[in-house]
A and B are shown apart, each in its own frame.
Chain A
Amino acid sequence: GAVVSQHPSWVICKSGTSVKIECRSLDFQATTMFWYRQFPKQSLMLMATSNEGSKATYEQGVEKDKFLINHASLTLSTLTVTSAHPEDSSFYICSARHASTDTQYFGPGTRLTVL
């Protein structure tokens, strides 16, 4: 139980295009999901907290207009990187909070490369 999936697992796009990443909790409902960014050989940096049915809460320094987050259902949150640039290339990881266990379960990550 407590499986979180991400799609796609990797994506390559041209500079200036937008990319959508999906995060799904497969066997539980998640009122709260989190989006992280991880640079090579570094820790996870929390980008935003996504609450179902409300606006996401962004961490300081994260551009909300560039990283659009939608949490339309209890099992799905999406992160859209708008007008992507090479500096947005990174590993993006989502997690979903399992309410009954107060534990975050992580997706396998999405490798984004912007050319």
Chain B
Amino acid sequence: AQSVTQPDIHITVSEGASLELRCNYSYGATPYLFWYVQSPGQGLQLLLKYFSGDTLVQGIKGFEAEFKRSQSSFNLRKPSVHWSDAAEYFCAVGALATGNQFYFGTGTSLTVIP
């Protein structure tokens, strides 16, 4: 069965510190992997995606993520967090075979301390 796990419900980091948000997935086919960010009361904004090729993908706002097939992981990273990065982050997995239906993780809430 398809599933996405984000082990950390809530993370607090200091501004300027590095960040890593974890995402593990279980998927029967070759996955397409995504990270989205959601500010309070807003929709979801795509940060980055992985379909194939280079396993380290760069996204917007200085974020990157690394696909590790052996670990079924797609962790999101940022070397230096800004206060504006405080938001909810969702990892999602999907594939063409399922009509591009997405399965979302439960989200990680990020708090940034000045």
CB distance from B25 to the nearest CB of A (A): 14
Task: Select B44's contact among A41, A46, A102, A106, beta carbons within 8 Å.
Answer: A106
- Could you say which residues of chain B place their CB within 8 Å of the CB of A32? 99-100
- Could you say which residues of chain A place their CB within 8 Å of the CB of B100? 32, 97, 102, 104
Number of interface residues of B (CB under 8 A): 23
Give the residue among B36, B43, B94, B106 with the most A Cβ atoms within 10 A. Answer: B43
Tell me what chain A mostly uses at the interface: helix, strand, loop, or mixed: strand
User: Cβ of A107 and Cβ of B43 under 8 Å apart?
Assistant: yes
Choose the segment among B11-19, B45-53, B71-79 that binds chain A (4+ C-beta atoms closer than 8 Å): B45-53
Number of interface residues of A (CB under 8 A): 23
- Could you say which residues of chain B place their CB within 8 Å of the CB of A106? 36, 43-46
Binding site for A on B (CB under 8 A): 32, 34, 36, 41-46, 49, 51, 90, 94, 96, 99-102, 104-107, 109
Task: Select A44's contact among B42, B90, B109, beta carbons within 8 Å.
Answer: B90
Rounded to whole angstroms, the CA-CA distance of A41 and B41 in the bound complex is 11
Contact string against B for A residues 20-56, beta-carbon threshold 8 Å, 1 for contact and 0 otherwise? 0000000000001010000001111010010000000
A8 at interface, CB cutoff 8 A? no
Rounded to whole angstroms, the CA-CA distance of A104 and B101 in the bound complex is 9
Chain B, Cβ-Cβ closest to A98: B100
CB distance from B10 to the nearest CB of A (A): 10
Decide yes or no: A109 and B32 within 8 Å by CB, A44-B104, A102-B51, A102-B100 being known contacts.
no
- Could you say which residues of chain A place their CB within 8 Å of the CB of B36? 106
- Could you say which residues of chain B place their CB within 8 Å of the CB of A93? 43-44
Contact string against B for A residues 87-115, beta-carbon threshold 8 Å, 1 for contact and 0 otherwise? 00001010101000011111111010000
